[in-house]
Amino acid sequence: MTKQLVPSRMNGVAVPTGRDTKNGTRIPEDWKPTEKGIAYAVTHLGDQRAAAFEAAKFALYWQTKTGRDAVKLKWDLCWQRWVLGAVGYREADARKNQSSSNAIDQALDRARREASERSGSNF
């Protein structure tokens, strides 16, 4: 099978047209996750709204990406990897927020102790 190429409009790099699935394709303009892909996202992200939000981000990202990195062989697996990445970002944000919250609580406790020591009263 001869690989059919078309030039990318953004940077002149040739990418497969979508007919040559052996080498991958660009994401279709009307891409949406399969029912299985939605279920996977809901399971990992916690709800339908988060899954829909990530699906919109995923489609927009890959539809606007240029060059050979925008060609994938298995878009369903690429979607699953994206979902796992989103879970990782959420967990990191939660840890960061928890650390910030702990630091604020510790600072408040320290300020209360210092104020109590100066005034001789307890808060």
pLDDT tens-digit map of 65-94: 999 999 999 999 999 999 999 998 888 767
List, in sequence order, the alpha helices (H) in the chain.
Answer: 35-45, 48-64, 75-119
- The range of the structural domain enclosing residue 33 comes to 5-119
pLDDT tens-digit map of 11-42: 444 455 545 557 899 999 999 999 999 999 99
Residue pair 111/118 in contact (Cβ under 8 Å)? The answer is no
Element (H, E) at 29: none
Residue pair 46/87 in contact (Cβ under 8 Å)? The answer is no
Among 34, 53, 47, 44, CA closest to 88: 44
Which whole number is the average pLDDT over 48-73?
96
Instruction: Give the span between the Cα atoms of 64 and 50, in whole angstroms.
Output: 21
Q: What is the pTM of this model?
A: 0.61
Structural domains counted in the chain: 1
Among 18, 42, 40, CA closest to 29: 18
